[in-house]
Amino acid sequence: MPPTLKLPRRDGILTRYTLSGRTPVLVPPGPIRSRIGMAAVHVVADPLASINPSLEVALDWDATLRFRHHIWSLGLAVAEAMDTSQRGMGFDWRTAKELIRRSVAESKTVPGAVLASGAGTDHLEPGPHVTLAAVEAAYEEQCAWVEGCGGRIILMASRALAACAKEPGDYLKVYGRILTQVREPVIIHWLGEMFDPALEGYWGSRDLDQATETLLAIVREYDARIDGVKISLLDQAREIAMRKRFPPGVRMYTGDDFDYPTTIRGDGDRYSDALLGIFDVIAPAAAAALKALDAGDAARYTHILAPTLTLSRQVFGAPTRFYKTGVVFAAYLNGHQSHFRMVGGQESARSVVHLAEQFALMDRAGLLRDPELAAERMRRVLAVAGVE
């Protein structure tokens, strides 16, 4: 019999929930060919480190790297040291440097492994003293580190640039300088304010149409140095319209955790590749669906991903910036780490009710790889909240 446990509802009532008994999603062997599927992956905190978790960072390196091997084993690519890793939310550049170094080295031991790493300016604190030249220098430092490790660059959005830029031309200047120096084509990441309020008005305007034009101007001028653009605006229509205007050879990497199945499938003319935080949570389903698409089985692709969409909208629900809590919670439920602790104490950023809803949605999507283990771990989380 599937396990049963008591889950809290939003009205405060505890209800009995029996797991569905659904068979976990199975992933066929082999690489993914028709799309690039990148999972922006989380980090595993060291729960026994003698640190102040709100001020300092300590990682469980073995568990962190083991999860990357899990992603590669499914045929997915890894996007390292991005916002899913809590860059800008407790995860500092000093530790990110070590994470990038270790992950790049680890990727070299896995045949066919694909890895790209975030380079930004998060070691530069925004403030009135910060100049465009300082932002450029900060970008240069992080890009040089990634390339020095032998890695590929994901050019992340900069809080410092958002704070000091006066007009769209400032973005053209900074990005132009960086793009003329990179060794290999990069992925540019436009992270919306729903993920990080400090990035409001990025590309020099709060008007998204004007901001889009500024980014397109950069893409057109430096297309040979841009592999693609990741859009994290949770705006499907804008993403589809924008990818139609990209020069040939520039990819659109969807960051739309609310509507990824249709953007990845495409419209018969163009499609989006994927660079998604939710792929950390739904990795087996994502890999199985993309392999179905490889085989030309669009119906199976849709069937696999359909139940994951409700889950993703739960994990990324407002306030969206706290989605990382749901990502790590999923890894805990599935035995990828032994605890539910996070960098910066962010395990407390979502309510127990929210986590209980996520648990049920993961069950219905076939994303609990060991339902008995997951139920026991859910009970432990509930017990801390006083649910016996």
Portion of the chain with pLDDT greater than 90, in percent: 96
262 domain residue, yes or no = yes
Q: Indicate the angle between helix axes 283-294 and 298-315, nearest 10 degrees.
A: 150
Q: Which H or E run contains 132? A: helix 132-148
61 domain residue, yes or no = no
Q: Residue 256: left (phi > 0), alpha (psi -120 to 50), or beta?
A: beta
Question: For residue 208, what are its two tokens?
Answer: 């998204």
185 domain residue, yes or no = yes
pLDDT tens column, 321-367: 999 999 999 999 999 999 999 999 999 999 999 999 999 999 999 99
The answer to whether the CB of 40 falls within 8 A of the CB of 83 is yes
* Antiparallel, parallel or unpaired: β 4-8 and 14-18: antiparallel
238 domain residue, yes or no = yes
Tell me the CA distances in angstroms from 200 to 81, 206, 252, 280, one per residue in order: 22, 7, 21, 26
Confidence of residue 1 (pLDDT cuts 50, 70, 90): confident
Please state the rounded mean pLDDT for residues 182-211: 97
Enclosing domain of residue 209: 117-276
199 domain residue, yes or no = yes
Mean pLDDT across the chain: 97
Note the pLDDT of residue 54. Answer: 86
Residue 137 belongs to domain with CATH number: 3.20.20.70
pLDDT tens column, 40-78: 999 999 999 999 988 999 999 999 999 999 999 999 999
The answer to whether the CB of 244 falls within 8 A of the CB of 252 is no
Please state the rounded mean pLDDT for residues 208-237: 97
Token look-up 């450029």 returns 136
Portion of the chain with pLDDT greater than 70, in percent: 100
Bond preceding residue 371 cis, omega within 30 of 0: no
Question: Does 388 have pLDDT greater than 90?
Answer: no
Residue 247 DSSP SS3: coil
Note the pLDDT of residue 157. Answer: 98
The answer to whether the CB of 123 falls within 8 A of the CB of 92 is yes
Note the pLDDT of residue 126. Answer: 93
93 domain residue, yes or no = no
Q: Which H or E run contains 311? A: helix 298-315
Note the pLDDT of residue 268. Answer: 86
Note the pLDDT of residue 251. Answer: 98
Question: DSSP string covering 316-380, please?
Answer: TPSSGGGHHHHHHHHHHHTTSSS----GGGGGGSS-HHHHHHHHHHHHHTT--SSHHHHHHHHHH
Vertex 40 angle, CA 119 and 259, to 5°: 120
139 domain residue, yes or no = yes
pLDDT tens column, 214-227: 999 999 999 999 99
Side-chain-side CA neighbours of 79 within 13 Å: the count stands at: 31
Domain count, the chain: 1
| Rounded Cα gap, residues 369 and 198, in angstroms | 37
pLDDT tens column, 4-42: 999 999 998 999 999 999 989 989 999 999 999 999 999
Question: For residue 128, what are its two tokens?
Answer: 């009135």
Interacting residues of 31 by C-beta distance below 8 A, sequence separation 6+: 75, 112
Please state the rounded mean pLDDT for residues 170-197: 97
| Rounded Cα gap, residues 164 and 145, in angstroms | 24
63 domain residue, yes or no = no
Name the phi and psi angles at 79, rounded to 5.
-105, 115
3-state helix, strand, coil in the chain (%, to 5): 45, 15, 40
Note the pLDDT of residue 270. Answer: 94
pLDDT tens column, 272-298: 999 999 999 999 999 999 999 999 999
Please state the rounded mean pLDDT for residues 78-102: 97
